[in-house]
Amino acid sequence: GRGMKGLEINHVGFRYGERKALDDVSFNVEPGRFCALLGPNGAGKSTLFALLTRLVVAGEGTISVAGFDMARLPRAALARIGVVFQQPTLDLDMTVRRNLRYFAGLHGLSGRSAAIAIDRALAQLGMAERADELVRALNGGHRRRMEIARALIHQPQILLLDEATVGLDAASRQAITDHVHGLAQSGLAVLWATHLVDEIARPDQVVVLHRGRVLSDGPAAALAGDTGLANAFLAMTAEPQEAAS
Ligand code: ADP
């Protein structure tokens, strides 16, 4: 069979009551790939992340993480996922290292193995020299990088980030998108939810999600065509003009 598998999403659907938030969503993210999940507000990105992290349980379809089915083997699947949610969840009055040590403990790492995992993760985000600073003293971009480092401590094969650059300045956004592209190059399967086309590089995979449906899935360069990614995305997701009455 195949070697290491990434993320496989097959025919996933989800409803909030009558409202269909995801409708027959299917796509894969292979190891080593940066996949942008690109969709306007309300597209269903957060709902998909909730399913991928088992905050909610899927009604339809299957999700497989590194070969483990989320419904049948949820613990094995979740152990291979690192996630960075939109809302920061750091203790501001602890140092970076203490925050990460706490999280390492949740994954059963302590002592020397925790220290090694923490140093490695911080180095991956260029944060090694910040380890002993209080989180409160860090700027927004460094706090975000620390949250990404935290998501890597248990060495996941899939990294999920939900609008990871919200509220950051241009330089911080650039640093973070560059770091995460580097993580993909080192072998992670990355799913990066965004509505900002400038966070996407030409070799990236782009899945366009709109009103709960996948409108396209392929390399950014192909989607961009001659008109550019921004225009292509706008054309695909334009709302119909409201009829004057
Ligand atoms: P995105 O993250 O892309 O902005 P969401 O997944 O938050 O999209 O939302 C997808 C759709 O589901 C939207 O129409 C939204 O209004 C609806 N929705 C999201 N959360 C809930 C909820 N808890 N109850 C009802 N509808 C919801």
Distance 238 CA to ligand 1 centre (A): 18
Q: How many CB atoms lie within 10 A of CB 78?
A: 16
Distance 190 CA to ligand 1 centre (A): 22
- pLDDT confidence band for 3 (50 / 70 / 90): low
Distance 40 CA to ligand 1 centre (A): 11
Q: What average pLDDT score do residues 11-15 get?
A: 96
Name the average pLDDT for the chain.
Answer: 92
List, for residues 179-225, the tens digit of each pLDDT value.
999 999 999 999 999 999 999 999 999 999 999 999 999 999 999 99
pLDDT for the residue numbered 239 = 76
CA distance 160 to 169: 21
Nearest C-alpha to atom 6 of ligand 1 is from which residue? 44
Nearest C-alpha to atom 14 of ligand 1 is from which residue? 42
pLDDT for the residue numbered 85 = 87
Q: What is the 3-state secondary structure (H, E, C) of 23-52?
A: EEEEEEECCCCEEEEECCCCCCHHHHHHHH
List, for residues 128-167, the tens digit of each pLDDT value.
999 999 999 999 999 999 999 999 999 999 999 999 999 8
List, for residues 83-135, the tens digit of each pLDDT value.
998 877 888 999 999 999 999 998 899 999 999 999 999 999 999 999 999 99
* Helices first, then strands: H and E counts in the chain: 8, 10
Sort 207 into a burial class: Cβ within 10 Å, 0-12 / 13-18 / 19+: buried
